[in-house]
A and B are shown apart, each in its own frame.
Chain A
Amino acid sequence: MLQGVNRKIGLILFLLSAGYLFMSYQLPTYPYIPVDADAIPKTLGWILVVLSIALFFTKDSDTEEQKAKRHIPKKDVKAIVGVFVLALIFISLLEIVGFVIMTALFIFTCSKFLGYKSNLVNAIVSICFPLFLYSIFVFLLNINLPQGVLPL
């Protein structure tokens, strides 16, 4: 029953729209308001239900190029997940450690992780880029970025 990409995505979207519709029907309504806050969400939810059913019954018609896009080699999946984890670490420590240090560490580690070989260039860019951005934002434009542990 679930053979084909369209069927699988159709089912996921159907479940999502059902959840969205459920939440839409929980929204409070008020008297004397011709179109309340729940009207558009309910309409959108039902449209998504119809579209997900339509997608479920649509034959897969992806081009070869599109199909090739879906086949990601294992080592690339690992690289994407790795960069994602690095970005998560960057975000969670940004306000604690500070913009300059975290950005420098992120750029260096991420570039190295992705296979960039020149350590010297990597180190120079990793240090100069955050310092340049920080100086412009904080000193020139008065937009504060997390200072963290550095006494900048």
Chain B
Amino acid sequence: MGAIEGILTGFEVALSLEGILFVLLGVFVGTFIGMLPGLGPISAIAIMIPITYGMNPTLALVMMAGVYYGAVFGGSTSSILLNAPGISGTVASSFDGYPMAQNGQAGKALAIAAIASFIGGTISVILLMAFAPMLSSVAISFGPPAYFALMLLGLTAIASLSEGSTIKALISAVIGFIVATIGIDPQTGTARYTFGSTNLLDGIDFLIIALGLFAIAEVGYLIINRFKKSATDGKQLGSLKLSKQDMKEIAGPSGRQSILGFVLGILPGAGATIASFISYISEKRIAKKPEQFGKGAVKGLAAPEASNNAATSGSFVPLLSLGIPGSGTTAVMLGAFLVLGVQPGPMLMGDNPEIFWGIIASMYIGNIFLLILNLPLIPYIARVLTVPRPLLISLVIVFSLIGVYAISFSTFDLYLLLAFGVIGFLMRMFAFPAPPFILAFILGGMMEQSFRQAMTSSNGDISIFFTNNISLVLIILSVLSFAFPIIKSVREKKKTA
């Protein structure tokens, strides 16, 4: 079956009454579960698997795909409104989304997120359709040295994520990396910094750090400002009005970052998190007014949102064309395929074209549904911020605590959450930026493993990072990316002096 014939078959499946209903159901359920504390796409898909038993595999998988990108979008809501990112892919969305919501533009922020996600989702589906088979071979050519270099490139964002002192940003990042070293070392089985506690053997979950440093730390400042009235009324807060200038500012970053997000999404292990961070940074680098980033810039929100949604589609490339899951979420998705008796991989396109192309075609429709469903709901969702502060504070604390409890079922993790909340509060008080901490925490563990795998395969010869073309290019880019903002700020300081 040729590609065009395949696409037509796909649309036949996706546009059938049943197809439309299941996509709609998937997107709705995914968005709802994604908004709940602690539940991201992994939980959303896992929860939905039992429901698909006995269903037509094509329709079941079309629905699952809807659940996946619905949950990614749903996760952005708590990130923007409460500074409480439920999944790592939406951390970067809070950098500008939360300040925007605090400035009385919550509706606008959510609308930007919805539109940018739509653009990201749509562009990436077109790319998925055109390049899926070809790109999967690129993904498997990424060995440990290239992964290490890619993580390094992601880490260089630290220099750009610091508003004030670069030393403080670097300290924040090193401590984030140090926290990532806690737990059992997967290569040697050595327990590192667990102090004999079995609770720390698996390391510290991302959600504890994210909710602690962002949501709980924010609670501290909400308590201080608990009697301050919100500057805007509910109606204005939920307003979706976007000016022509706003649309212009959404279009550019969304277009560019969708492509970048898609490419990074294909790489196993990289996914939406790295994509959203790198997109945020690259957009800040090329922005005419980079100083607006972190204070509610439209571009700063559109870029990571488009990118993380595009990465979601990208992660389907290795899954559909090779049968290899590149992330935790696609691993659960693979489980869903197998439960339904479908083996994804090179044979899928030939053996079950209706499934392969049906999923891809359903993504077009799913993205449209996501937009249609969410835009009218935004004014109501944004009103969360009109809740009186004392009540909102209590709800945010419960939201964060239950979010952590629902994934670990351990009160030890709740104490850890409070501890990281205190750390996050102190970091803000003394002007240590939290984004480098979380970035280093997320990338640090993966980076260490890739580095050690590469060194093991080269028998300790460090030149492996420079003889591999992909890693060499990425290392050069990393050096440039790290040095450029520092040189720029030193020059600017000299000029002003």
Contact = CB atoms under 8 A, between A and B. Distances in A.
Contacts of A34: 452, 455-456, 458-460
Interface string B213-230: 000000110011011000
Given A28-B190, A145-B405, A92 B411 contact: yes
Interface of A: 5, 9, 13, 20, 23, 27-28, 30, 33-37, 39-41, 44-45, 47-48, 51-52, 54-55, 58, 61-63, 66, 69-70, 72-73, 76, 79-80, 83-84, 87-88, 90-92, 94-95, 99, 103, 106-107, 110-116, 121-122, 125, 129-130, 133, 136-137, 141-145
B224 A90 contact: no
Contacts of B452: 34-35, 39-40
A91 B401 CA distance: 8
A49 to B, nearest CB: 10
B443 to A, nearest CB: 13
Given A58-B167, A110-B393, A133-B402, 7 more contacts: A13-B171, A36-B188, A66-B431, A79-B226, A84-B422, A129-B398, A143-B43
B26 to A, nearest CB: 15
A146 to B, nearest CB: 8
Contact of A83 (B219, B411, B431, B456): B219
Contacts of A30: 188
A116 B418 contact: no
A32 B108 CA distance: 57
Given A35-B452, A36-B188, A23 B193 contact: yes
Nearest to A28: B190
- Nearest 10 A-B pairs (CB), nearest first? A34-B460, A114-B390, A116-B390, A37-B185, A110-B394, A37-B190, A91-B414, A107-B394, A34-B455, A35-B452
A80 B221 CA distance: 9
Contact of A62 (B390, B398, B401, B431): B431
A63 B163 CA distance: 12
Interface residues of B, number: 59
Contacts of A61: 164-165
Contact of A141 (B33, B224, B388, B448): B33
B187 A37 contact: yes
Contacts of A41: 178, 181, 192-193
A122 to B, nearest CB: 7
A133 B428 CA distance: 31
B188 A33 contact: yes
15 contacts: A27-B190, A34-B456, A35-B452, A35-B456, A35-B460, A36-B188, A40-B181, A40-B451, A41-B178, A54-B167, A88-B415, A88-B418, A114-B394, A116-B390, A145-B402
Contacts of A121: 391
A58 B167 CA distance: 9
B190 A122 contact: no
Nearest to A107: B394
A43 B220 CA distance: 34
B480 interface: no
Determine chain B's interface SS by DSSP, over half rule: helix
B43 to A, nearest CB: 8
B230 to A, nearest CB: 15
A130 B168 CA distance: 40
A116 to B, nearest CB: 4
Contacts of A112: 390
Contacts of B164: 61-63, 66
A103 B405 CA distance: 13
Contacts of B170: 51
A27 to B, nearest CB: 6
A44 B177 contact: yes
B406 A48 contact: no
B287 interface: no
Given A66-B431, A107-B395, A51 B47 contact: no
Nearest to B415: A91
Given A44-B181, A94-B411, A114 B389 contact: yes
Given A51-B170, A107-B398, A35 B451 contact: yes
Contact of A33 (B187, B398, B414): B187
B183 to A, nearest CB: 11
Interface in B147-203: 164-165, 167-168, 170-171, 174-175, 177-178, 181, 185, 187-188, 190, 192-193
B223 to A, nearest CB: 5
A62 B165 CA distance: 9
Nearest to A47: B174
A116 B391 contact: yes
Contact of A84 (B193, B411, B418, B430): B418
Nearest to B418: A87
Contact of B398 (A37, A72, A106): A106
Interface in B296-329: none
B371 interface: no
B240 interface: no
